Structure 1
Amino acid sequence: MQYTLCVVLTVGSCYGILVQDPQLYEQRLGHLESLVQQQSTKISELETKLANTHAGGTDPVYFSAYSQQTLRPGNHQAIVYDSLYHDSHNAYDQTTGFFTAPVKGFYVFAWTTEINHGYIFDSELLVNGARRQKNGCDMVGATQGFTTCTGVVPLELKVGDVVYIRSVSGNYVLGNGWLSFTGWLVHK
């Protein structure tokens, strides 16, 4: 009796080996089953590792704050967003307006303001007191309407880095949720 052992080396290809001895066939089949099991284990390990690398792993970091109050900030004043939609790690301080990075990684931050005609609100995002991005929102010459301005910045942060929004020049910004500050960890 003859057996043909098929070893798949590439997708769609099969190379037959003529086996005269059934014990040799069983031995080779056992070896191939062992290889398949090893590969399955490696695939499972890689899938777990990949799942843990997405969006910072299994412990996502994010916050979304907004202001209920209409503000009339002076120049170079930290903006305090007094309400939270979400704060996964209690990293945003509603009394100071500061977000403190709970883990090292690559983050994205966005802040949005809406102003009325006749007003201005230029702002900046700072990390540990150093400007990293500016956002201008100017309706000084307008006689009607509103405008919404958004700044977005990616940042690499260390544990304990402090991120916040500060006015550059401004005299008015709408509250009631029109003023917001959001951040999330993209990758550890």
Structure 2
Amino acid sequence: MLYITCTISLVFLSVIFADTVDRVSDADEIFKRLDGLAKRVGILESENIQLKKELKTQSDSFVDLKSQNEGKYKDLNRKQLKLKDEIKVIRYQNLTRVEVALLNSKNELNALETEIRTKNRELENKIDEDVDKVKDSLNDTKVTLQESTRNQNEKLLQHQKSLQSLQHTVSALNNTRKMDGTLPSFYALLSSTVPIRGGDQIIIYDKTGTNNGNAYNTSSGIFTVPESGVYVFTWTAFSYVEEYVRLEIVVAGTIFGGTLSDTQETGDADTETGIIVANVKAGDKVFIRTQSRGPGDGRLYVEFECTSTFSGWKIS
């Protein structure tokens, strides 16, 4: 406002001074010009007032805008702070979730490691058990093979003895046919003491004094009947001091008789004799063995001419 007033005044003075210096004007022209200037001043004052109003309006608007902007700025700051807090919370929550997930993963990993160690131990134990089972099976198989081999050897030995007995039988039959009226007969005895080891032990009388027809086998202790008929069989058991022996005679798989030689109470040696008469067929086996029940705990003793014997002969 001051600037405008000063400007008008300068213009006015310039005009007056110019008019005074350049030429002399009359008063009317001067007043006209003054009126014009006054009008212009009035217009300028009106414009100035209008400008003041507009400036005030603009200033108010600016103040309102500034206030609004300040409010928006504060609101923005609050929102930013809130957003930061939310971001912190979200980060914390996410971090917590990650930590929880990591902790769960760690627990699962530990559990998995424990399970793997347990399974490894179980697998190692199972492998050890399987190896032990295989070893036991191999040992059992080895034992079974040994037993089978032993049984096969025993069977082979029995077959060999049977073959020998058969050969003796054939030889006895042939010899019997060649003998002029000589009946089959044998007398066998022990050449050394025989210990009693248990039941069903065949007593092998390993020496013969008579063996007409060669039907008695000194290797097996078995007499194989060379021809059918009626035979007499007898045996003796000589047991030592304070011992006892139970014997029985088996004819064609049947027990025909038995003896007990007992010196446990008398304190002296003892000899018992058994004798039977039996109808037999060619090929039947006759032998002496220990009884299965209470076979004894002694020996068949041999001393000088005293020994155990086994004899048999055909009578018809």
The runs of 4+ residues in structure 1 deviating greater than 6 Å are none
- Residue of structure 1 equivalent to 2:285: 162
Does 1:150 pair with 2:273?
yes
TM-score scaled by structure 1?
0.66
Give the distance between the partners of 2:185 and 2:225, measured in 1 at CA.
10
* Structure 2 portions without partners, runs of 5+: 1-179
- Residue of structure 1 equivalent to 2:302: 175
**Pairing of 1:51-90 with structure 2 (within 5 A):** 58-74=181-197, 75-90=199-214
Q: Does the 8 Å contact 1:126/1:165 carry over to 2?
A: yes
Does 1:116 pair with 2:245?
no
Aligned residue pair count = 130
- 1:28-70 residue CA offsets vs partner (Å, 9 max, x unmatched): xxxxxxxxxxxxxxxxxxxxxxxxxxxxx81311000000110
Q: Does the 8 Å contact 2:238/2:301 carry over to 1?
A: yes
Letter in 1 for 2:309: S
* Structure 1 portions without partners, runs of 5+: 1-56
Question: Pick from 175, 184, 188: which aligns with 2:313?
Answer: 184
Q: 1:117, CA displacement in angstroms? A: 1.9
In terms of fraction of residues, the more helix-rich structure is 2
- Residue of structure 2 equivalent to 1:93: 217
Give the distance between the partners of 2:236 and 2:228, measured in 1 at CA.
25
Q: 1:80, CA displacement in angstroms? A: 0.1
Give the distance between the partners of 2:242 and 2:253, measured in 1 at CA.
30
Question: Pick from 129, 133, 136: which aligns with 2:260?
Answer: 136
Q: Does the 8 Å contact 1:66/1:178 carry over to 2?
A: yes
Counterpart of 2:201 in 1: which secondary structure?
A: coil
Counterpart of 2:276 in 1: which secondary structure?
A: strand
Give the distance between the partners of 2:232 and 2:222, measured in 1 at CA.
15
Give the distance between the partners of 2:242 and 2:218, measured in 1 at CA.
29
Q: Does the 8 Å contact 2:242/2:269 carry over to 1?
A: no
Higher relative contact order, structure no. (Cα contacts within 8 Å, ≥ 6 residues apart): 1
Q: 1:141, CA displacement in angstroms? A: 2.2
Give the distance between the partners of 1:72 and 1:142, measured in 2 at CA.
20
Counterpart of 1:136 in 2: which secondary structure?
A: strand
CA RMSD in angstroms comes to 1.4
TM-score scaled by structure 2?
0.40
Letter in 1 for 2:310: F
Q: Does the 8 Å contact 1:110/1:183 carry over to 2?
A: yes
Q: 1:146, CA displacement in angstroms? A: 1.4
Give the distance between the partners of 1:79 and 1:129, measured in 2 at CA.
16
Give the distance between the partners of 1:128 and 1:157, measured in 2 at CA.
8
Counterpart of 1:133 in 2: which secondary structure?
A: strand
Give the distance between the partners of 2:220 and 2:252, measured in 1 at CA.
13
Rg larger for: 2
Q: 1:142, CA displacement in angstroms? A: 2.7
Q: 1:76, CA displacement in angstroms? A: 1.5
In terms of fraction of residues, the more strand-rich structure is 1
Q: 1:101, CA displacement in angstroms? A: 0.4
Counterpart of 2:300 in 1: which secondary structure?
A: coil
Q: 1:129, CA displacement in angstroms? A: 2.4
Q: Does the 8 Å contact 2:187/2:309 carry over to 1?
A: yes
Give the distance between the partners of 1:94 and 1:175, measured in 2 at CA.
17
Letter in 1 for 2:288: I
